[in-house]
Amino acid sequence: MVMGREWGINELTLGYEWETLLLDEYGLPPKHEKIATVVSKTRKEILPSRTGFDWIPGLERSLFEIRSGILRNRKELEVRTKKIVKTAMEIVKKEGFQFLPIGSYPPLGSAIGLHIHTGSWEKIEDLHEFANSIFPYIPCFAALSVNSPFWGMNPFNPPFGVKSYRLKHHAQSMSIPQYTPNLFPQLLWEGDITIKFVSHPTIEIRICDAPLSWKLVCELTAFVSSFIAESIKYPKTFNKQQFVEGIDNRMRAMKDGLQALFLWGGKEREVTEILKEMLDTAYPTLKILGYEELSLIEKMIQLRQTQTDFLSHLFENYKGDIIDFTTYLASGLNFVEDPFNTYLNYAPPLKVKDLMDIDEYLLSMVGRRTSYGNLYKVLYQPTDEFEKRIWRLKERNLLDIQFDEEEGTLFSKSSS
């Protein structure tokens, strides 16, 4: 999408970076030199692909990152994606590895994501203002893509506390809510929505968990890019309330996925209803791309079912521990045939959850002498809003606050 001052669209381009796991004979992600042959052979077979390595934060191991290259329509998107998956799986098997697309490495954690690019843009002018204006909608994409219900846990007793541990951990500080003041825009990195120009002239959505469904990769890429292409034609205003609500809704998406209630302009709304409106907004560009419908996404919205619900269903009916389960996922599911799509054919509709109380969630993250910085990172809110929450909890006698000259402000749950 080449755009200048008048936002004239010459051609929509889109693409993605889909981080996936390869597992060795021990069920561990290998180091990058071990999978160099897989990367090299895949790139040779799929010439437009930029597939390569990425790293798993905290594990000193490598991800197998499927990079689509520039795409322009449904046929290119689906043919290339399915071809890369099929080719990679064949090569991976020959090289003695297993392929596992998922939002975290279950036994130990670590964030694995899908980054969607909409570009190419000729100029940066006004892009930051636009990115800010669609920030409230970004948690809706998060709710749709949750796929990390496991994160380094007791092998036999996973908590199933949230639907995206990757979101809970802010992708280990590599996907966080950000706001760029319009008078002083800079080219940053690590935002849930990022103006990317330092490397590629794209708008990048970084909030999505890595899918295990190649079809969902395609539909999410088309949906996100089409929503951006249509939204930029009718720029919206943006205010502090929307930013704070967006951060809170991000946590609600993390906890409840498509069962979440959001606060939207101060009123409770089901995230699925907002997503339906977003699909309507995106439809003109989706149609140009070749999509009359997004059948998988629409089915998910109708049922409120996510990939996390699928993985939780599988584990609850599995007899082994989380380490064995990880190997089972990699060896037992045929990702070319798309097991998630099959699951949705018999999955029951899920009910909407109650509105998540963000103050209570923040309090649940307080331990003994929790530092200001560590508690702040639970939400990444504007500091004045963060402190309002803190003092509200203090006034309710739920929080004790101490000050240490070296460590600064320290929080503990009230003992009274």
Q: What is the pLDDT along the chain (416 residues), one digit of tens a residue?
A: 444 444 445 589 999 999 999 999 999 999 989 999 999 999 998 877 789 999 887 778 999 999 999 999 999 999 999 999 999 999 999 999 999 999 999 998 889 999 999 998 988 888 999 999 999 999 999 999 999 999 987 666 666 689 999 999 999 988 999 888 877 888 888 899 999 998 889 999 999 999 999 999 999 999 999 999 999 998 888 999 999 999 999 999 999 999 999 999 999 999 999 999 999 999 999 999 999 999 999 999 999 999 999 999 999 999 888 899 999 999 999 999 999 999 999 999 999 999 999 999 999 999 999 999 999 999 999 999 999 999 999 999 999 999 999 999 999 998 76
The verdict on 337 and 410 lying in the same domain is no
**CA dist., res. 234 & res. 266, Å (int):** 23
The verdict on 413 and 286 lying in the same domain is no
- What angle in degrees, to the nearest 10, is found between the helix axes of 271-289 and 214-231? 90
The verdict on 339 and 377 lying in the same domain is no
CA 8 vs CA 31, 182, 200, 409: distances in Å: 44, 21, 19, 50
**CA dist., res. 70 & res. 3, Å (int):** 16
The verdict on 218 and 313 lying in the same domain is yes
The verdict on 350 and 388 lying in the same domain is no
Q: List the structure tokens of 32.
A: 């990058």
- Is 82 domain-assigned? yes
- Is 6 domain-assigned? no
The verdict on 90 and 202 lying in the same domain is yes
Give the number of domains in the chain: 2
Give the Cα-Cα-Cα angle 308, 311, 313 (nearest 5 degrees): 105
**Residue 362's domain is classified under what CATH number?**
1.10.10.10
Residue 395, domain extent: 357-416
Q: How many CB atoms lie within 10 A of CB 2?
A: 15
- Helices (H), strands (E): how many in the chain? 16, 14
The verdict on 239 and 331 lying in the same domain is yes
CA 404 vs CA 30, 86, 144, 369, 411: distances in Å: 43, 57, 42, 10, 11
**Residue 304's domain is classified under what CATH number?**
3.30.590.20
The verdict on 347 and 363 lying in the same domain is no
CA 364 vs CA 169, 328, 403: distances in Å: 14, 33, 20
**CA dist., res. 364 & res. 368, Å (int):** 11
Contact 286, 222 (CB under 8 A): yes
Q: Which residue matches tokens 């190997």?
A: 327
**CA dist., res. 411 & res. 402, Å (int):** 6
- Is 5 domain-assigned? no
List, in sequence order, every beta strand (DSSP E) within 170-231. 193-195, 202-209
Ranges of H-type helices in 33-184: 36-45, 74-94, 127-133, 138-145, 165-168, 170-173
Report the pLDDT value the prediction gives residue 49, as an integer from 0 to 100: 78
The verdict on 27 and 85 lying in the same domain is yes
Answer with the one of 355, 383, 401 that is the final residue of a domain. 355
**CA dist., res. 243 & res. 136, Å (int):** 7
Q: What's 135's DSSP letter? A: G
**CA dist., res. 301 & res. 313, Å (int):** 18
